[in-house]
Amino acid sequence: MAQVGWLAYEQARRQWNLDAAVQAKLSKCEPWPPGKDGEGNQQQWGYCTWFTLDDMQEITVMLHKPGFLANAARQFQNVPWLTTEVEVNLCWAAPSAR
């Protein structure tokens, strides 16, 4: 799950012409409990979040295991995580006006 999320971030970062996150560390990867889609298929959502060591950058990737892929994968646990959203928050400190 984390590897899929990080690869999605890397692809989005290149598309957006952002510099690579320096020393980003995985904070959390959490799959939410599986549920059912509109057709009664099992599906699952989750997310992963990374922070840089200086806490000036946050990367969050939303992931989904769509239920309609379970038939091809034969078992839901074999359905791959797919990225649905990549969010990058960049912070900076302004010099104080003294």
For residue 51, what are its two tokens?
A: 């922070």
pTM for this predicted structure = 0.85
Name the region of 55 (left: φ>0; alpha: ψ -120 to 50; beta: rest): left
Domain residue spans of the chain: 2-34+42-90
pLDDT higher than threshold 80 for residue 40: yes
pLDDT, tens digit (0-9, with 9 covering 90-100), for 50-60: 999 998 999 99
DSSP string, 69-98: GHHHHSSGGGSPPEEEEEEEEE--PPPP--
Please report which confidence band the pLDDT of residue 72 belongs to, taking 50, 70 and 90 as the band edges. low
Classify domain 2-34+42-90 by CATH architecture. Answer: Roll (3.10)
Please report which confidence band the pLDDT of residue 7 belongs to, taking 50, 70 and 90 as the band edges. very high
pLDDT higher than threshold 80 for residue 65: yes
R_g of the chain computed on alpha carbons: 17
CA distance 30 to 75: 20
Cross-strand pairs, 64:
45, 82
pLDDT, tens digit (0-9, with 9 covering 90-100), for 73-96: 678 888 899 999 999 998 888 887
